[in-house]
Structure 1
Amino acid sequence: MARFIFITGGVVSSLGKGLASAALGSLLQARGFSVRLRKLDPYLNVDPGTMSPFEHGEVFVTDDGAETDLDLGHYERFTGVSARNTDSVSSGRIYSTVLEKERRGDYLGKTIQVIPHVTNEIKDFISIGEDEVDFMLCEIGGTVGDIEGLPFFEAIRQFSQDKPRGQCIFMHLTLLPFVKASGELKTKPTQHSVKELRSIGIAPDVLVCRSEGPIPQKERDKLALFCNVRPDSVIAAQDLKSIYEAPLAYHREGLDQAVLDAFDISPAPKPDLSRWEDVSDRIFNAEGEVKVAIVGKYTQLEDAYKSIAEALTHGGMANRVKVKSEWIDAEIFDREDPAPYLEGFHAILVPGGFGERGTEGKIKAAQFARERKIPYLGICLGMQMAVIEAARNLAGVADAGSEEFDHEAGEKRFTPVVYHLKEWVQGNSTVARKVDDDKGGTMRLGAYSATLSKGSKVAEVYGSTAIEERHRHRYEVDTKFRKQLEEHGLCFSGMSPDGRLPEIVEVKDHPWFIGVQFHPELKSKPFAPHPLFADFVRAARDISRLV
């Protein structure tokens, strides 16, 4: 039966609970334990799928088709454990389930209340798969004291009481601000945060304190005394140059040992940190630099493309080069020549997105990469824009467009090269969708197989002709233009197993030009870079050496 670690946060949000949870999970793995990580979010959206990237960052997609919080991406990247739809839940999903049960009569006419009905639902969620791993790490979103988070805090308090003594511990992450005017590191915000946590019946066993620099022993002792934790359970979490330093940095601070001590696991297995030592070596001992332009529409918030940024870093590690990414707003190219902006880059990446804004700019970026022989990776919408560009400028379909942007037009004014997918095969069943269906959870989501053409560039990159990748989209490239496009050099080198849906396109006679309908960035890890990103960065490195 699993031991449970509940990770909470205080003082301010965005301190890095997800990163701390992921790093701790990787350290427990290094000691030979199996782990699973979960995220409990207090917002009322059923899932992040319909939220703007500006609101909550990217939407991370699991193999089984769940649209989840971006922290699950951290969990996967650090532990290699594939997330599931049972690893992410929101208040909206909890309340929706409770109300469905009430409508069915499952509660036999009882008055439905937060306690016990909502808290019981949360506890049931936490318990899923508890016999599968040694440790279950559950991160509570938001900060202690948030009114929307109270049901989750009450649920984990109850959960810890329901379990045998010593099976649950609490790790609390706070901020130690440094006041420059007085030259002091302030512990009072952390003391108040712990006081708030204790007032709802939860006492932290481990205190993780974010700070810009080292925490003097005097402040550690003060925190231990006033927060009622052991001195060696006060863990410093200093700012790092790379998030992939976190496992080694937390190990040096004794986080994993403090957790094992809290569970009274002794003697503790010695950790094998060779994986993270290699990762650190590749990051800090790069032998060159490549510049990659990311032409997107959510460039004001880098978390909107978090997995892409990390996958590029992984690709750099695979080639022992530093990847310097620059975010360029695609809308600029709607009105300006892309050349002055894109010249000097060694590769161009166009990521996914929804809606018409910025799409003409993405098309121009694809054209620039194709004509200038610059390595190009188009992901999801980035692939569709590359196909539309080729249709317009190579195959003579001057009015090529997408139903995503033009299906509401009063009169037909385009040729739909990209269309709304109304039916597809998922497993042993057929899925049907309409344009006016609800937006939430109605896309082609999760892992699907693809068959690659023998002798193609992508088959060479993957080293296989059978792959499985994660999808998140409603629109597909129309195969009726396949022959016309292939005659002009754009090859459909990857298809769904039934041959109906294009998965990958590539340009002949080009150093590296590949568009994929799926999201390869979601499966990349620092110790196992995705082959597409590794080869994309290799191509950029080769270009950089020619300049």
Structure 2
Amino acid sequence: MSGVGKGLTTASVGRILGEYGYRCTAVKIDPYINCDAGTMRPTEHGEVWVTDDGGEIDQDLGNYERFLGLDLPRHNNLTTGQIYHSVIERERRGEYLGQTVQPIPHITGEIQRRIQEAAKGFDVALIEIGGTVGDYENEPFLFAVKGLEREIGEEHFVYVLVTYLPIPRHVGEMKTKPTQQAIRLLGEQGILPDFIVCRAETSLDEVRKKKIMVNANVPMDHIISAPDLATVYDIPIRLEEEDLGAKMLAKMGFQPRREPDWTHWQNLLERSKTPSQVVRVAMVGKYVEIGDFQLTDSYISVNQSLLHAGVANDSKIEITWIDGRKFERDDMDLEALTDYDGIIVPGAFGEGGADGVLAAIRYARENGVPFLGLCYGMQLAVVEYARNVVGIKDASSEEFSDDSPNQVVSVQESQKQVLEDEQYGASMRLGAYAAVLKKDSRVLALYEESGRLGEDADRIRQLLEVPAESFRVGEIMQGHDQVVLERHRHRYEISPRFVELLEDQGLVFSGHHRRADGTRLMEFIELPDHPYFLATQAHPEFKSRMDNPAPMFSGFVKAALAHQQASGAPHVQAAAS
């Protein structure tokens, strides 16, 4: 079933097997015809995850990276669109030597090739097939996996069904019938699950376990209860309470390479649940509401990054998601922002809600409220500063206004032809890019304190050794420049012709990327006389981890705590007392 937690279960299994000493990778299969998630609506599909090498992928890859501690490449995501595109291109080049190209064996063969390619160099490859059992669109992938089992050997495969057991309110009883139907439909593909992970609001009882065992012919101890938990990081611990890791290793014929040690993970979990402080954050964005519902999955990595930063600062982060259009429609007064310790403007596209977001940014700047802008958030912070400090009243973004003479945010030169040709898919400035940080800047201090400069220096050396990826580094002076790597997803940039004027009026551009042709792209801004007013063209949320929070988020939470203390009584976390 879609949205039941397959991605988090996959990530958790990878973390568990890693604790037993096995090196795991994960592959996400999305059966939709889109080539990637890049052109899909965030309100419909959730956040678009960006990989170091520029892939635009389903948000499940973010869970994989956060749990496994890996930077996964774009080829770890397969879609129906990618598979058919690859096969059709190969046919056009004549590589099939006159064969009749068909779904079987050519489409299924390409699926198998991609899975095996992604699995190279790892002990275990976790393959998540998206969607719902019984969907027509995922049948080729199930068929391909079953064929791979025949080719490699069934002893190398373990099948896990993640299923949902509803508890209808008017009945008050957990129902197993949907799970029974899922098992039957999976069996039609020749696949019988070795393990069944049962998602539900509450724990699975023995009565329900026995009913599933009888209908599925799965051993009782291979039916795993996975109830709703306080945080996603509780999931591996909960699954290990039923010895899932040891059982899966036994099924694969593996022996544990080491004794699992969950001490560090559990310490982080404990800190996340028993903080002594509360920080209230207003997230002012665009992709928040659809009808009567709020869709916070649009910004799930920002949410997780705040959780990570909260753990580092002994704080619970309470996020209020505010659609910028509420300020435009007067559904909410700007003075409502006095209730918050900090304001974040995350990434977005297009003009809708921009005036409301600009008003929130101005409020943060003029009232000394900690502010963090991400991608679109940085662009609008520059527009707001140009209008209300520099005095360029018609300052705008080319994304919003084609005819404004003062577009302080403009389309990148490399993107102009792309837009003219209407080639929107996979064509933005995507993936990791290096930024040289300004000496004595707050941004530099944050990255120095976190230890990220050393980590990123190693990664930069790796990129320089791969000619096809070295462009991501740009022009740097190794051993002299202080450089960081962050992931990007944008078409627009701060217009170079306004940079000097903005700097003269007090805005500090504290980091830039220098292309091989000498062009400089502004990557970070800050206001030195403000308690914390920072923004970046990048998406640092994609590099944040539970035990290694993104520096700009950690600094933001620390500043929010200071603002809270300065403005009055702190918000006390009752659970910690």
TM bucket, shorter chain: over 0.9
2:425 aligns with 440
Q: Give the superposition deviation at 1:341.
A: 2.7
Q: Distance in 2 between matches of 1:15 and 1:255?
A: 19
Match of 1:163 in 2: 152
Q: Paired residue for 2:398?
A: 403
TM-aligned CA distance change 1:489 to 1:267, over 3 Å: closer
Deviations 1:44-67 (A, max 9, x none): 011110111112101100000010
1:305 to 299, 306, 313: 299
| Aligned residue identity for 1:500 | R
How far apart are residue 184 of structure 1 and its match?
A: 2.9
1:218 to partner: Cα distance: 2.8
Match of 1:169, SS? coil
What SS class does the counterpart of residue 472 from structure 1 fall into? strand
Determine the C-alpha separation between the residues in 2 that align with 1:534 and 1:284: 18
CA–CA separation in structure 2 for the residues paired with 1:21 and 1:267 = 19
2:400 match: secondary structure: helix
Select between 328-337 and 18-27 the one with higher mean Cα deviation. Answer: 328-337
CA deviations on 1:325-355 (whole Å, 9 max, x unpaired) are 0000111222437523311110000011111
Residues 432 and 457 of structure 1: is their aligned pair in 2 closer, same or farther, counting only changes over 3 Å? farther
Could you tell me how far apart the structure 1 residues matched to 2:489 and 2:70 are?
A: 20
Find the partner of 2:407 among 412, 416, 420.
416
Letter of the structure 2 residue corresponding to residue 72 of structure 1 = L
**Residues 1:286 and 2:275 aligned together:** yes
* Alpha-carbon separation, structure 1, partners of 2:307 and 2:565: 19
Q: For 2:521, which of 487, 497, 501 is the aligned residue?
A: 501
Aligned positions of 1:234-245 closer than 5 A? 234-245=223-234
Unaligned runs of 5+ in 1: 1-11, 425-430
220-229 vs 470-479, which moves further: 220-229
| Counterpart selection for 1:477 from 463, 484, 494 | 494
**8 A contact 2:76–2:118 mirrored in 1:** no
The one of 527, 536, 555 equivalent to 1:535 is: 555
Counterpart of 2:504 in structure 1 is 487
CA distance in 2, matches of 1:505, 1:22: 35
Query: Contact conserved, 1:417 with 1:478, CA < 8 A, in 2?
Result: yes
Letter in 2 for 1:350: V
Is the alpha carbon distance of 1:61 and 1:141 closer, same or farther for their aligned partners in structure 2, counting shifts above 3 Å? same
Amino acid at match of 2:443: V
CA distance in 2, matches of 1:394, 1:51: 36
> Is the CA contact (8 Å cut-off) linking 2:196 and 2:223 kept in structure 1?
yes
Secondary structure at the aligned position of 1:65 is classed as coil
1:453 and 2:438 aligned: yes
**Equivalent residue number for residue 334 of structure 1:** 328
Residues in 1 aligned to 2:357 and 2:333: alpha-carbon distance in whole angstroms: 10
In 1, are the aligned partners of 2:15 and 2:236 still within 8 Å (CA)?
yes
One-letter code of the match for 2:313? N
Count of residue pairs the alignment pairs up? 526
> How far has the Cα of 1:275 moved from its partner?
2.6
Asked if 1 retains the 8 angstrom alpha-carbon contact of 2:25 and 2:119, the reply is no
Measured in 2, the distance between the counterparts of 1:338 and 1:50 equals 33
Aligned-pair CA distance for 1:101: 1.3
Q: Contact 1:171/1:206 (CA < 8 Å) preserved in 2? A: yes
Deviations along 1:426-472, one digit per CA (max 9) or x if unpaired, are xxxxx974544410011000000001111000001101531000000
**Structure 2 residue aligned with 1:272:** 261
SS, match of residue 470 in structure 1: strand
Counterpart Cα distance in 2 of 1:445 and 1:185: 45
Alignment partner of 1:532: what SS?
A: helix
Which segment is superposed worse, 122-131 or 284-293? 122-131
2:346 equivalent in structure 1: 351
What letter corresponds to residue 380 of structure 1 in structure 2? C
Instruction: Kindly state the Cα deviation for residue 195 of structure 1 after the two structures are TM-superposed.
Output: 1.2
Q: Distance in 2 between matches of 1:541 and 1:182?
A: 46
Q: Which whole-Å deviations, capped at 9, do the CAs of 1:167-211 have from their partners, x for residues lacking one?
A: 111110111222454443222221121111111101111110012
Which residue of structure 1 aligns with residue 319 of structure 2?
325
State the secondary structure of the residue aligned to 1:419.
strand
Q: Measure the CA separation in 2 of the matches of 1:382 and 1:161.
A: 51
Moved more, 119-128 or 107-116: 107-116
Provide the C-alpha distance between the structure 1 equivalents of 2:120 and 2:559, rounded to a whole number of angstroms.
Answer: 45
Q: Residue 339 of structure 2: SS of its match in structure 1?
A: coil
Q: From the superposition, tell whether residues 85 and 132 of structure 1 become closer, same or farther in structure 2 (CA, over 3 Å).
A: same
The Cα of 1:269 is off from its aligned counterpart by 3.5
2:98 corresponds to which residue? Answer: 109
Q: TM-score, normalised by structure 2?
A: 0.88
Q: Which residue of 2 aligns with 1:49?
A: 38
The whole-number CA distance in structure 2 between the counterparts of 1:361 and 1:496 is 30
* Distance 1:180-1:354 versus aligned 2 partners, 3 A rule: closer
Q: Which of 535, 553, 561 pairs up with 1:515?
A: 535
Q: Is the contact made by 2:368 and 2:530 (CA closer than 8 Å) also made in structure 1?
A: yes
Equivalent residues in 2 for 1:141-160, closer than 5 Å: 141-160=130-149
2: CA distance, partners of 1:211 / 1:398: 54
Q: Percent identity?
A: 42
**How far did residue 164 of structure 1 move?**
2.5
Q: Out of 214, 233, 237, which is 1:225 matched to?
A: 214
Say whether residues 1:369 and 2:389 are aligned partners: no
Q: Distance in 2 between matches of 1:176 and 1:52?
A: 29
Which secondary structure state, in structure 1, belongs to the residue aligned with residue 161 of structure 2?
A: strand
Q: CA deviation at 1:105?
A: 1.6
The structure 1 residue matched to 2:53, chosen from 47, 59, 64, is 64
Q: Cα gap change, 1:384/1:182 in structure 2, threshold over 3 Å: closer, same or farther?
A: closer
Q: Distance in 2 between matches of 1:376 and 1:179?
A: 43
Equivalent position amino acid for 1:313 in 2? L
Q: Do the aligned residues in 2 keep the contact of 1:420 with 1:474 (CA within 8 Å)?
A: yes
In the alignment, which residue of structure 2 is the partner of 1:190?
Answer: 179
Q: Residues of 2 paired with 1:433 and 1:185: CA distance?
A: 53
Pick one of 295, 309, 314 that aligns with 1:315: 309
CA pair 530-538 structure 1, distance change in 2 beyond 3 A: same
Q: Matches of 2:274 and 2:37 in 1, distance apart?
A: 37
Whole-angstrom distance in 1 between the partners of 2:188 and 2:307: 43
CA contact (8 A) 1:503 1:517 kept: yes
Tell me the CA shift for residue 264 of structure 1: 2.2
CA drift at 1:485: 1.3
- Identify the match of residue 76 of structure 2 among 80, 84, 87: 87
CA contact (8 A) 1:38 1:87 kept: yes
CA contact (8 A) 1:293 1:326 kept: yes
C-alpha separation in 1, matches of 2:487 and 2:300 = 16
C-alpha deviation, 1:488, in angstroms: 2.0
Alpha-carbon displacement from aligned partner over 1:357-388 (angstroms, at most 9, x marks no partner) = 11111111111100000000000010000001
1:422–1:433 contact (8 Å) kept in structure 2: no
Contact kept, 8 Å, 1:495 with 1:501, in 2: the verdict is yes
Q: CA deviation at 1:13?
A: 1.9
C-alpha separation between the residues in 1 aligned to 2:102 and 2:65?
Answer: 35
